[in-house]
Structure 1
Amino acid sequence: MKIEKPELVGLSSERLKDFDKMLMERYIGPNKLSGTQTLVARKGSIVHFHSQGKRDIENNLPVDENTLFRIYSMTKPVTGVALMQLYENGSFQLSDPVSKFLPEFNNQEVYVSGSYPLFMTEPVKRPMVIRDLLTHTSGLSYSINYRSHVDDAYRKIFKISDPTASLVSKEKVDLEEFSKRVASLPLEFSPGDQWLYSVSIDICARLVEVISGKKIDKYFSDHIFKPLKMEKTSFYVKEDDLKDLAVCYHRDENKKITIHDPGDAKSRYSAPRDFNGGGSGLISNAKEYYRFLQMLLNGGELDGERILSRKTIELMTLNHLPDNNTMADMGSSGSFSEVRYNGMGYGLSMAVTTDPAASQSPLSKGSYNWGGMASTYFWIDPKEDLLAIFMTQFIPSDAFPLRPQMATMVYGSFID
């Protein structure tokens, strides 16, 4: 991997290193995190890349440039790109009802009272449309949301005891069956009324399958990963690459880190699975995910391969919430999110900064970002021609202020 000098693009080498020093002193050294990896690129060049700590504490294996990470919800923008490729070829409009392609979403009802399986419901004010899915305003929910009887029903219909382990049980459930079960439950609210983090992007992946005629893993490979030379990015880790898979850790009730998923053949990512969701599930490394992000920042192209048009990416990264509302405006403050609510709108599969002051972040207006359950994170700032990636493997993602700390220190390195 070629690394340019940060000063050539208006960044300070020493200040960028300060973030990695802070991570070591505050998190890795005191055994709060196992290891980290940071990547910063500006004006088309990687100018900072640093790995430190362990990808496997128990076996004393270091984080290095080949380390593979579970990126969880950083899968969502990949699904968004896949669906928008089909939008570009005229296969659908954002205003199309979801039921046009997935008939199980006909005649949806909204939760009023009761618990699974005995619900009282009322009809939706309007049908769910595809844009509702891409913006998490569909009314769907998530098994990881512990806030209502509907959330509880998501856990029951898939027989889930630990939503951080899997969205579905060990049953053979593919995206088709997943979509049908989700559609059988009432919505939390009528589409467009609120923002709620949900399985919406998993349903987008099912739309990709139905419209393209390809399974989601095959579609990703053919139309995104192969053109971008993302050879290791996949829903599972091939046997020869298991040596590079990081252990995923979580914090127990005593605030000690313990193994959540091993980095070997016992990992649930060590073999193909029936359920490949569009909302989570990909394995990648920083240098390959960088290629995906640089393609977005370039306006849809990388090394001569066109993935999307510039105008489609501009459309995706606008705030699509009604009346230019933020996630906070849409009543989301009681639910889980991978980013802050204030000053953040939502585009087509990722958050968009609408008000830097309200977000208390130096990200420019129009920047877009998202993270994953194991504390991974990225952002793209088109105004500054900047992107950044943070990789680690630690659950939960909101235990430490890693993301705002990285943003503050990266922007603090500007010297132009």
Structure 2
Amino acid sequence: MRDWGVTMNRSGLRRVREQLAKRVDSGEVPGLVALLGNGDSAHVEVLGDMHVGGGAAMAEDSIFRLASATKPIIAAGVLALVEDCRLRLDDSIEEWLPELADRRVLVRPDAEVTDTVPARRAITVRDLLTFTWGFGVDLTGADTPIRRAMLELGLLVPPSGFEPDVWIARLGSLPLMAQPGEKWLYHVGSDVLGLLVARVTGVSLGEFLRERIFAPLGMVDTGFFVPEDKIGRLPTSYAHDPATGELVVWDPAVGGKYSKPPRFETGGDGLVSTASDYFAFQRMLLQGGKYRGERVLSGGSVALMTSDQLTPAQKVEKDELNEFFGDHGGFGFGMGVRTVRRGFAQVGQFGWDGGLGTSAQADPGAGFSGVLLTQVALDSPVSRLLIKDFWTTAYQAMED
């Protein structure tokens, strides 16, 4: 436990620690780092170990695979290009991604991949940012022709093992699942955005983010892999055995997926970071794009990111997946935006979770933000309850 000038409710903070310690002591997660921030002050909890069975203790500067908590950062990078007038929200992406020009669209979700109609319009940058561009991952696992085609092309696994041009060509060989702008479909839009940034700038996504986001915010441990001199700070990542429920290694630190530069720096789930780095990103958003007196994004960009961008019709698909993502009510650019109050979180809260056990939310109304970092996949109700209970206790810690 460490405080940076924290002004939170001490009894509430004890409740946070007790709830987290219970999860670690029970073996649900081997270890975790949790941060609650209020302005420039923060309270940090560090519990457990880096690996199942002991070994190195978890540390405040441990580096975690963010998984889908990557998405808001990618959206911020895209908006930096919009501010530079190198991209425009409602322009077609076809100039930079010709593989996605002249789209065909399935006549219905379960249609054969050859049973299509022409797209009514081109895909825009805004469509990608809001996940309404017409293509995504079907988390229900329905056995449809388009899902089988994605499986055959290797598009149901993280694309970091592909060369970017190969990946986008394969994606472009398939029809869209819906008309551009018609419905919310998860995940793939962020990967496309990452490639879009690289093509527009002529540098890698990681290099661009370092210049425009990470360096100004002092995010020194955030990137698309963990260098050799920091690999000891990366915990093992785990999933649950479907048969026994026991934790099994999904990705080791040494020699694992994140121990070397990927072929494809993926915008959907590729970043690694620390609690303090992500807190800096959240502080920038809560301060309208400024960090320590320096402007990183315009206030207008932050307002777009953190306000609901979906129509009621677009939300139908998202609302059907609330069991996976929670009932935020809305979606901004790359992250959920709370438009309804279902619990302690206030309307206006924004952020996103990652499937490897990460959660990052900021609440302008309550004036605080938080980060919970584990490396146990959200493939079990137990893992999801840990995140829910963390936020329940976190909000109590913010009360006078």
TM-score (norm 1): 0.89
SS, match of residue 188 in structure 1: coil
* C-alpha deviation, 1:351, in angstroms: 0.7
Quote the residue 1:39 is aligned against.
35
Answer whether contact 2:69 2:354 (CA < 8 A) is retained. yes
382, 386, 396: which one aligns with 1:402? 386
Quote the residue 1:293 is aligned against.
282
Tell me how far apart the structure 2 counterparts of residues 244 and 16 of structure 1 sit (CA, whole Å): 26
* C-alpha deviation, 1:197, in angstroms: 0.7
* C-alpha deviation, 1:86, in angstroms: 0.6
- Would you identify which runs of 4 or more consecutive aligned residues in structure 1 move more than 3 Å? 112-118, 333-338
Answer whether contact 1:326 1:343 (CA < 8 A) is retained. no
Quote the residue 2:3 is aligned against.
3
Tell me how far apart the structure 2 counterparts of residues 337 and 190 of structure 1 sit (CA, whole Å): 25
* C-alpha deviation, 1:159, in angstroms: 6.8
246, 249, 254: which one aligns with 1:256? 246
Quote the residue 2:200 is aligned against.
211
Residues 166-202 of structure 1 deviation map (CA, whole Å, 9 limit, x = unaligned): 335x4xx233332222122111111122111131011
Answer whether contact 2:20 2:390 (CA < 8 A) is retained. no
* 1:21 and 2:38 are equivalent in the alignment: no
Answer whether contact 1:116 1:153 (CA < 8 A) is retained. no
Tell me how far apart the structure 2 counterparts of residues 413 and 230 of structure 1 sit (CA, whole Å): 26
* 1:65 and 2:60 are equivalent in the alignment: yes
* 1:106 and 2:74 are equivalent in the alignment: no
Quote the residue 1:278 is aligned against.
267
* C-alpha deviation, 1:263, in angstroms: 2.1
Quote the residue 2:375 is aligned against.
393
* C-alpha deviation, 1:144, in angstroms: 6.0
Q: How many residues align?
A: 396
Tell me how far apart the structure 2 counterparts of residues 299 and 397 of structure 1 sit (CA, whole Å): 34
* C-alpha deviation, 1:158, in angstroms: 2.2
* C-alpha deviation, 1:59, in angstroms: 4.8
292, 309, 315: which one aligns with 2:304? 315
Quote the residue 1:129 is aligned against.
124
Q: Which amino acid aligns with 2:3?
A: I
Tell me how far apart the structure 2 counterparts of residues 76 and 153 of structure 1 sit (CA, whole Å): 25
After TM superposition, the structure 1 stretch with the greater mean CA deviation from structure 2, 149-158 or 125-134, is 149-158
* C-alpha deviation, 1:415, in angstroms: 3.1
* C-alpha deviation, 1:343, in angstroms: 4.3
SS, match of residue 61 in structure 1: coil
Quote the residue 1:332 is aligned against.
318
After TM superposition, the structure 1 stretch with the greater mean CA deviation from structure 2, 75-84 or 118-127, is 118-127
SS, match of residue 392 in structure 2: helix
Distance 1:346 1:49, change over 3 A: same
Tell me how far apart the structure 2 counterparts of residues 114 and 280 of structure 1 sit (CA, whole Å): 25
Residues 296-315 of structure 1 deviation map (CA, whole Å, 9 limit, x = unaligned): 11111212432101221012
* 1:221 and 2:218 are equivalent in the alignment: no
Answer whether contact 2:240 2:380 (CA < 8 A) is retained. no
Answer whether contact 1:228 1:305 (CA < 8 A) is retained. no
Tell me how far apart the structure 2 counterparts of residues 123 and 294 of structure 1 sit (CA, whole Å): 43
| Percentage identity across paired residues of the two chains | 27
* C-alpha deviation, 1:346, in angstroms: 0.7
What is the CA RMSD across the aligned residues, in angstroms? 2.4
Quote the residue 1:247 is aligned against.
236
Residues 59-89 of structure 1 deviation map (CA, whole Å, 9 limit, x = unaligned): 5221111211100111111110110001011
Tell me how far apart the structure 1 counterparts of residues 349 and 320 of structure 2 sit (CA, whole Å): 24
* C-alpha deviation, 1:413, in angstroms: 2.2
Tell me how far apart the structure 2 counterparts of residues 203 and 159 of structure 1 sit (CA, whole Å): 13
Q: Which amino acid aligns with 2:28?
A: K
Residues 29-58 of structure 1 deviation map (CA, whole Å, 9 limit, x = unaligned): 221111121100112211x10010111124
Tell me how far apart the structure 2 counterparts of residues 221 and 150 of structure 1 sit (CA, whole Å): 36
Quote the residue 1:167 is aligned against.
159
SS, match of residue 132 in structure 1: helix
Residues 95-140 of structure 1 deviation map (CA, whole Å, 9 limit, x = unaligned): 1122232122111111237999953111223322211110111111
What are the equivalent positions in structure 2 for 1:366-377 lying under 5 Å apart? Answer: 366-377=348-359
Quote the residue 1:354 is aligned against.
339
* C-alpha deviation, 1:347, in angstroms: 0.5
Tell me how far apart the structure 1 counterparts of residues 138 and 258 of structure 2 sit (CA, whole Å): 20
* C-alpha deviation, 1:92, in angstroms: 2.4
* C-alpha deviation, 1:334, in angstroms: 4.6
* 1:158 and 2:192 are equivalent in the alignment: no
Q: Which amino acid aligns with 2:217?
A: L
Give unpaired runs (5+ residues) of structure 2. Answer: none
Answer whether contact 2:113 2:145 (CA < 8 A) is retained. no
Answer whether contact 1:110 1:123 (CA < 8 A) is retained. yes
Tell me how far apart the structure 1 counterparts of residues 79 and 395 of structure 2 sit (CA, whole Å): 31
Quote the residue 1:306 is aligned against.
295
Tell me how far apart the structure 1 counterparts of residues 385 and 289 of structure 2 sit (CA, whole Å): 31
* 1:83 and 2:83 are equivalent in the alignment: no
Q: Which amino acid aligns with 1:331?
A: E
Q: Which amino acid aligns with 2:345?
A: L
Quote the residue 2:49 is aligned against.
54
Answer whether contact 1:146 1:152 (CA < 8 A) is retained. no
